[in-house]
Amino acid sequence: MAAATTIVSSLEGRTTPVRGRFVLSGPSFQLVSDGSVASGAPGQAVGSLDLLVASLVSCGLNVLRGGGDAENELIPGREVEIYARVEREEDSATLGELVLEIFIEGATESEAHGYVADYRENCLIYAAVSHVIPIRFVVHGETAIEVEAE
């Protein structure tokens, strides 16, 4: 017997009269997205790469705050900040490498490795894209600890 299927995300995208500008809608939100300037888009609204990176940051904040599993309790007082950037060589045909700089006050080196392991294990979006774009983690706590991409 096949398992039941549940819709976990539902979006609609449509073009606008402006070249390279799109409207994305979900059940409780709407946002404007632009294609790349190189393709003739205005480049003023969030782009597809930014949306991908934002989803990885959002997922990481949820996991590292303790919310990666509904049975987990949020960790009181844990403030987490993530700064993300994509680095690539000029004229590269690849997406590049995503660097996630994670700031968790007082994190030790062993805790930093544990946080990255939690992220890798509990962020489903990471699992979906990590084979396409290398992701390097730098955890700032007591010191800065770099955890290379898998």
Same domain assignment for residues 81 and 122: yes
- pLDDT of 129: 93
Give me the amino acid identity at 88.
R
Same domain assignment for residues 141 and 99: yes
- Assess if residue 127 is contained within a domain: yes
User: Helix, strand, or coil here: 146?
Assistant: strand
- Assess if residue 138 is contained within a domain: yes
Same domain assignment for residues 60 and 123: yes
Same domain assignment for residues 112 and 97: yes
- pLDDT of 95: 86
Same domain assignment for residues 21 and 60: no
CATH of the domain at 135: 3.30.300.20
Same domain assignment for residues 122 and 137: yes
Taking 70 as the threshold, does the pLDDT of residue 81 lie above it?
yes
Same domain assignment for residues 70 and 91: yes
Place 64 in a pLDDT band, splitting at 50, 70 and 90: confident
Q: pLDDT tens, 16-54?
A: 999 999 999 999 999 999 998 888 999 999 999 999 999
The whole domain housing 75 covers 47-147
CA proximity to 126, closest of 147, 144, 109: 147
Number of domain units in the chain: 2
Same domain assignment for residues 28 and 54: no
- pLDDT of 111: 85
Same domain assignment for residues 142 and 77: yes
- Assess if residue 1 is contained within a domain: no
- Assess if residue 25 is contained within a domain: yes
Q: What is the dihedral of CA 101, 103, 108, 113, to 10 degrees?
A: -40
Q: pLDDT tens, 103-147?
A: 988 888 888 888 899 999 999 999 999 988 999 999 998 778 887
- Assess if residue 12 is contained within a domain: yes
Tokens coding 43: 């480049």
Beta strands in the chain (DSSP E): 12-15, 21-26, 29-34, 46-47, 80-87, 97-104, 135-140, 144-147
Same domain assignment for residues 72 and 135: yes
Place 69 in a pLDDT band, splitting at 50, 70 and 90: low
Report angle CA 100, 7, 55 to the nearest 5 degrees: 15
Place 57 in a pLDDT band, splitting at 50, 70 and 90: very high
- Assess if residue 2 is contained within a domain: no
Taking 70 as the threshold, does the pLDDT of residue 67 lie above it?
no
